[in-house]
Amino acid sequence: MVIVMQVTATDAQIKQVVNRIHSAGLKTFVSSDQSPVIIGLIGDKRMIATMPVEALDGVEKVIPITESYKLASRKFHPDATVIDVDGVKIGGGNVVVMAGPCAVESREQLLEAAALVKEGGAQFLRGGAYKPRTSPYSFQGLEIKGLEYLAEAREATGLKIVTEVTEVTAVDAVAEYADMLQIGARNMQNFQLLKAVGRAGKPVLLKRGIAATINEWLHAAEYILNEGNYDVIMCERGIRTFEEYTRNTLDLSAVGAIKQLSHLPIIVDPSHGTGRWKLVKSMSLAALAAGADGLMIEVHPNPAEALSDGPQSLNPENYQNLMQAVEQMTEFMAKLQ
């Protein structure tokens, strides 16, 4: 349920409504950055069924929300959310690029990749210090040492850092080094981990699970939001289908769907979405045309020697070419607004 206050509602009237809701045992979210003020109710709506909310001073109307995800719903927050990560804004017409190697392999590899990413114009350096892999014999990441290298790369380039956290016990360590915490596809429904990152005090990038519906994906976001962390970015990275030519099937319709259903920004990862570097550029431009707020791209100084995901990683030349095309597409899309 959403309570829309009158444009002329006073702070005292808003406070009175919030107190009445709390007295019924429900939580509230007050969207005070817009006019009119909107108050969202979180909890069992039966607890307020007999309360004449619309009769309270300053209330314009009450709108029921039928979706079971409340905080992520656009009905709850009609305006698109813009997330500010230390000066880098995601959403609201801003296009961000997060680029870098799949895994942090060494200090030298990461610093070289960071310089490359910075030169191309990306705002975030991506790189996995903890790597959940399908095979136990595959490279698993450098863990804390990898986080230290990421922090050094940020110091050298000014890039923001986004990296994956894979288990609850690692949340504090990753949050200490990263500007944004990533929840990978394998952990989209790891509910204890979602709760933990929701309490970590850092923005969260939530990747769609390999077989997750959009509804399940939004409910995963709800777990994070429900912990009080409203800085959540959705990431479409392809889903598992019967197709074998591509690593996954990149669902660009999810961009439009999320924009309709939710206020949260959404970016697209065409590297994992296709598994083929030759498809990354075309799918990146298609994602921006679909309305994506940004891209996550795998870039490696020498993909042939990458310890993880070499076939889908762009080399320096292809990355620079992509970023030029992204700039042109961004300018073109801005003219259509």
Note the pLDDT of residue 177: 96
Sign of the Cα pseudo-torsion (102, 107, 112, 118, in order): positive
Q: Would you state the structure tokens that stand for residue 191, as one six-digit string?
A: 């509910």
Task: Measure the CA–CA gap between 184 and 205, rounded to whole angstroms.
Answer: 8
pTM across the whole model: 0.87
Torsion of CA 172, 175, 176, 178, to 10 degrees: 150
Task: Measure the CA–CA gap between 91 and 258, rounded to whole angstroms.
Answer: 13
The CA-atom distances, in angstroms, between 38 and each of 6, 63, 78, 119, 262 are 9, 10, 9, 42, 16
Closest CA relative to residue 299, chosen from 150, 97, 149: 97
| Domain ranges (residues) in the chain | 2-63, 83-336
In CATH terms, are 2-63 and 83-336 the same topology? no
Note the pLDDT of residue 78: 85
Task: Measure the CA–CA gap between 80 and 89, rounded to whole angstroms.
Answer: 12
Note the pLDDT of residue 239: 97
Q: Would you state the structure tokens that stand for residue 50, as one six-digit string?
A: 């007999």
Q: Would you state the structure tokens that stand for residue 272, as one six-digit string?
A: 């994992």
Note the pLDDT of residue 50: 65
* Residue spans of the chain under pLDDT 70: 33, 44-50, 131-141
The CA-atom distances, in angstroms, between 248 and each of 12, 243, 269, 309 are 52, 7, 11, 13
- In this structure, how many other beta carbons lie within 10 angstroms of the beta carbon of residue 159? 24
Note the pLDDT of residue 47: 67
Angle between helices 316-336 and 107-120 (to 10 degrees): 30
DSSP E strands: which ranges in the chain?
Answer: 2-5, 27-31, 38-42, 59-63, 83-85, 88-90, 96-100, 124-126, 160-164, 180-183, 204-207, 232-236, 266-268, 294-298
CATH fold for the domain made of 83-336: TIM Barrel (3.20.20)
Sign of the Cα pseudo-torsion (232, 194, 240, 312, in order): positive
Helix (H/G/I), strand (E/B), else coil: 326? helix
Note the pLDDT of residue 131: 65
Task: Measure the CA–CA gap between 216 and 214, rounded to whole angstroms.
Answer: 5
Q: Is the domain 2-63 a CATH 2.30.42.10 member?
A: no
> Are residues 83 and 225 in contact, defined by beta-carbon separation less than 8 angstroms?
no
Cross-strand bridge partners of residue 234: 206, 266
Helix (H/G/I), strand (E/B), else coil: 237? coil
> Are residues 255 and 236 in contact, defined by beta-carbon separation less than 8 angstroms?
yes
